[in-house]
Structure 1
Amino acid sequence: MKLSVKLGLWIFICILLIETVSMIFLHNNVVRSRIDQELNSLKARGNSHRDVLEMAFNDSTLQHIRLMEAHTDTFVVVANSAGEVLLTSKEINEGMKKILDQSSSQLPRQGVILQSEWKEEAYIATVTPYETGTDKGSVYMFRDTENVKAFVSQLNRHFMLASIWILSFMFITIFLLTKVLTRPLIIMKEATRKLSKGDFSVSVPVQSHDELGELAQSIQTLANDLNYMKQERNDFLASISHELRTPLTYIKGYADIARRTNIRPQERTHYLQIIGEESERVNRLLEELFSLARIDQNEFLITKERVQLFPFLHSIYERVLPAFLTKNIELQLDSDQDIFVDIDPSRFGQVLSNILDNALKYSNEGTTTTIRAIKRDRNVVISIQDQGIGIPEEDIPYVFERLYRVEKSRARITGGFGLGLAIAKQLVEIHGGSLSVKSKPGAGTVFTIVLKES
């Protein structure tokens, strides 16, 4: 069953139940109010006749009361204390006699209702006591229930007609409402169907700011992310293919040359050395790819330990210092002595080595690279700042993406595969920290790592 049908049925059933209960309640109260009104009117007329009798109890007064009731739809019976009927505006029948027989001698001054049941009885009736100087008695008032039943029958017809109009309006409203509510869902269903088939170029319009709008926005975000991931995957595969094709071409080409019999031993050794270097380059690429794969699959384990930061940074400083001195770049270390962090020394050393390697590659002779560590707001901030060529502003958002290189020519002199910073960022995040970069072309670059202090 379609969602629109289910939704329409649920709304219909709920509104129908509410309408039915409301109609029944309203109908019963209207009928009850009308009956109470009729009974109170009867009792008021009886009280009025009682007052007239008590002011002047004689045949003239009795005839006057009979004349008053002769032209109305009510009937009056006046009886004395002995039960003798002194006045009746209509011939007493069995229904009226049954009511007269159940009257009590102890009646309140304002009268009582003798018969209120209108569905099964022929009359509704009230009785009011009177008292003169010479006698006591009762004034009985009757009203035929046929009039009440006719009123209820007419009321039922009005309620039925109102119900039909309400149901018709409800059907139209539910139909339009389900169309309005389910149309966005149908659009989203088509969008998800396209997504399942690999078509990520879908567009889901956000037409409201409610839950449906949030769902549409989520699906659109998912589609955009999947489309981005698809493009990134294609770019990644193309980049990997390019990175592998170049060294493999070198290996194959120089292997073919090395197999020749007419080359000198020194040349063969040179070619074999190039083959070895390219093989090592392919091996490094595969190791970095394997590391990324393990990180993506949450299989990359780190073993944290409490480390004093200054000796740890100093060991890395001493390890990379010769390379910086060879290029005539000054390397400085500035760190507080009392900083402790929870890190995996091996993995975190890999992070710092990757960043320092970038600083070395893209800094000119005579510049300075500074490693600095400070405490700030219960955090440890480690920064590596160089005075290199810097990163163009448009490239900064992408420097941590896999296989992204600011130097688009992929010159072999600069080395690297564009994976070092991607691995570094994910390793820092596994440690519970963050890695960010700020740079200005010609002024240098600063990479900042923020960790929790141990």
Structure 2
Amino acid sequence: MHRLFWKIFLSFWLTLAIFAAALMFAASSYLEHTRTQQDIGSMRTRLSKYFDQGQAVAKQEGIAGLKEWLDQLDRSEAIPILLINEAGRDLLGREVPAYIITRLDRRRQRAEQNEQRWLHHQQPIRLADGSSFHMVPDFQSITLRRVLQRPRVIALPMAIAALVSVLACLILGRYLTFPLERLRRATQHIAAGDLTQRVVPSMRGRRDEIAELAGAFDKMAERLEKVFSAQRQLLSDVSHELRSPLARLQVALGLARQRSNGQAEKELDRIELEIERLNELVSHLLEFSRLQAGVDAAHIEQVDIRELLEGLIEDAQFEAESKDCKVRLRTSFPAIVKANATLLYSAIENVVRNAIKYTKRGTAVEISMLADAGNEQGIIIQVRDHGPGVPNEMLPHLFEPFTRVEKARDRLSGGYGLGLAIADRAIRLYGGDITARNDPDEGLNIHIRLQLVKV
């Protein structure tokens, strides 16, 4: 249990430990190297260079320039370099250890007795006013803190330690996020209706919590695929099976009309109306079943949207006149998409017929072609009615099968809650989407987004 927890914990802990160890090792190695080099020629060369720089600054800029130069040197050099005057005080006011004062006194005595000559860097830096300063390295005052505070000294080990930690974190991040990214993509495919997605084969033998999650995900997807397949098959089978008894009912209705001699016309008309409604429902169910199975995704062709809408409006106008309203194309422009022309026509027609049903008398259903601001290769078909609209809480469910609004848009006004569901499946079949919102003034506004053919 919690194998992933221990992987994350140990990985971060080891990364931090490696970083700290590399940093401490680099700093301590430099510190030890510096201490052991105090009598070696390389250190004398550096001190000689510093002496020449200090003497030049003192000659050109005086005490102020010398002080500034020493301050800058102290910020970059791990070894404290002291400039001590004849009174035994450092130029920057730092504390001068007693052993350095003793060493300077001993050198002066020997120089006065001509026992030894001053080395180049041991000579005093002289200023124009006659004052002088002795340059002395304070090796015993080198501390780890001082080393860590000098960018020139610590930059390389810091960079190496940071690189190691970055690589370790990248490997860990990739190890953790790859299966999660695979799960995310599979979830998106399932949400879009592709229930064949499986993620365990891509886990590459993992045995942690993510692998267990992937296994549970695959079982869920497999179960959903079976349930939805059975549901689609049942829907298709029932729809087909209903066709035969409905046909027999229509024959029986015709015979009943002949034998009734007009004595039961009202009842027979009612039976005929209900048979027609059942026929319409069965047709919708069969169409919805085909869309769910992706049968109508074939027969792709280039479709001129403006031409399709003009033909659709001409056909819809007959139904609109019976409702005392109109269907109007407000804006249009040339636009070509790839789709099944018959299926796309049917999808948009379902939306327009739904709008005709609920728009107020004397108003118009307005259809517009708009450029998609968020997609240069996209187009929006807007269908707006002037009806009562839809409660906001129902908008996300408007394109689900058998969804009906209880008040204005209910079953009594016609429809079985399948028209918009069929339109939604048909539009999504070709990479588009369909959304609905209530217009601020009145009515429902439906946007159909489609992908244009690249010219």
- TM-score of the pair, normalised by structure 2: 0.44
* Higher alpha-carbon Rg: 1
RCO (CA 8 Å, sep 6+): is it higher in 1 or 2?
2
Which structure dedicates a bigger proportion of its chain to helix?
2
